[in-house]
Amino acid sequence: MKYYSTNGKAPVADLRKAVVKGLAEDRGLYMPEVINKLPQQFFTDMPKMKFQDIAFNVASAFFGDDVDLDSLQDLVYDTLQFPCPVVKVKESIYSLELFHGPTLAFKDVGARFMARLLQYFLRRGGSVCGDGSVCGCGTATKSKSVNVLVATSGDTGSAVANGFLGVDGIHVYVLYPKGKVSPIQECQFTTLGKNITAIEVDGVFDDCQALVKSAFMDQELNEHMMLTSANSINVARFLPQAFYYFNAVAQLIALGHQPSDIVICVPSGNFGNICAALFGHQMGMPVKRFIAANNANDIFFNYLQTGQYNPKPSKQTLANAMDVGDPSNFARIINLYSENGKLSPEETHKRITSLISGATYSDEQIRETMRQCYKETGYILDPHGACGYRALEEQLKPGEIGVFCETAHPAKFKEKVDDILGIDVEIPERLAAFMKGQKQSVPMTKDFADFKAYLLKQ
């Protein structure tokens, strides 16, 4: 499989380069040249299949040309050591619980898979080269290890840090906005040590993301050390997230629901998660339509209404992991539905809005939804899942079945959830273990010159 850049000015890459490099040379995001359709027999069998077997079939369609199938099966099975169950919340509305992994967040799937895939390529022999390939050509950067840069507004940092913790030949730098992630989230990536370094940026998530992107484009830095990303800009991070959407559809069909009635609602920030669902749909995943649920950062919602994309500084909200003012994966969505620029902006917008609707909610609406859901059903929503749940409540049509992503365990936002619902959310044991560690972080300004100077010393 070859991968091209959404900006159209970089050379095509193989999977190895796309994963190791992360971002194309022209600052574009990598896209697969072909999205393989899965055979009809797979969809017939899917409701009776195990999660890991469903995921292996999907992974084979994405990555089977570049990773031998035995190794790919090992990668998938090692990644998915936990379930992603569909749980009924009320009539016609289900929660896709994505918080049963090591860091209790949906990003555990993509982060664990990417860590294992990157290690697979590094173990294949050779050195890491300046163009992102792994070979024996003699043009390796000074650093023999791969340095993963990841910007986080919450759960990405902990999922990536724990996915890569202790992996030989890889060092992770987690950039996060000072004071803008929950205390528990912060504990999950600042207390690990070993090959994980937390960078506390005096700014917002968009500043962290800008530092990461600027680092990839800086020639001096890339000659000094091999850099890659574990944000959803990396194809190995976001594509595996399609695994749990296929599995969710399989579970709903097994419960007797028709695929033509299924609506998937994804709380959305940087849009990697819904992007994975849309790629799954392109592969034939039987779903009626999608809803992208935003908090007050309503850039995509406004695009759906107007056809105009106007990024703006992010606003700090109750659903902090979605506080993104310029979502990176918007470029992938546009590229996908414009057929790599073949269709006009108007035609592209029409295709997108025929499949995806949007929603945007204030902090007060999120609180209201959490209280209402808990009172009526006893189900505890986190602030992000609340956006998805409310969007389904408001937009489901008669006969439709809605499933929303509950992207993180409510205990990760314990202070907020306890205050809003007047309860004492129990902290799972594996989450409590992170809170016993000592915080280790490097303070950083949002000035790229300072970040570059720091990395050059590493």
> In terms of C-beta distances under 8 Å and separation of at least 24 residues, what long-range contacts does 194-198 make, across chains too?
194/165, 194/166, 195/164, 195/165, 195/166, 195/167, 195/170, 195/171, 196/161, 196/164, 196/165, 196/171, 196/172, 197/171, 197/172, 197/173, 197/442, 198/157, 198/161, 198/174, 198/440, 198/441, 198/442
Angstrom distance (rounded) from CA 48 to CA 80? 18
Which is nearest to 163 in space by CA: 223, 242, 209, 109? 109
Whether the Cβ atoms of residue 267 and residue 62 lie closer than 8 Å to each other: no
CB neighbour list of residue 381: distance below 8 Å, 6 or more residues apart: 369, 370, 373, 374, 389, 406, 410
DSSP code at position 436 = T
Q: Annotated active-site positions, please?
A: 107
CB neighbour list of residue 238: distance below 8 Å, 6 or more residues apart: 110, 232, 272, 273, 275, 276, 329
Q: Which two tokens stand for residue 246?
A: 């296929």
Angstrom distance (rounded) from CA 273 to CA 293? 12
Whether the Cβ atoms of residue 131 and residue 21 lie closer than 8 Å to each other: yes
Angstrom distance (rounded) from CA 292 to CA 268? 6
Whether the Cβ atoms of residue 151 and residue 321 lie closer than 8 Å to each other: no
Angstrom distance (rounded) from CA 22 to CA 41? 34
Any idea what the Cα angle at residue 198 is, between residues 193 and 200, rounded to 5°?
A: 150
Amino acid in position 2: K
DSSP code at position 259 = G
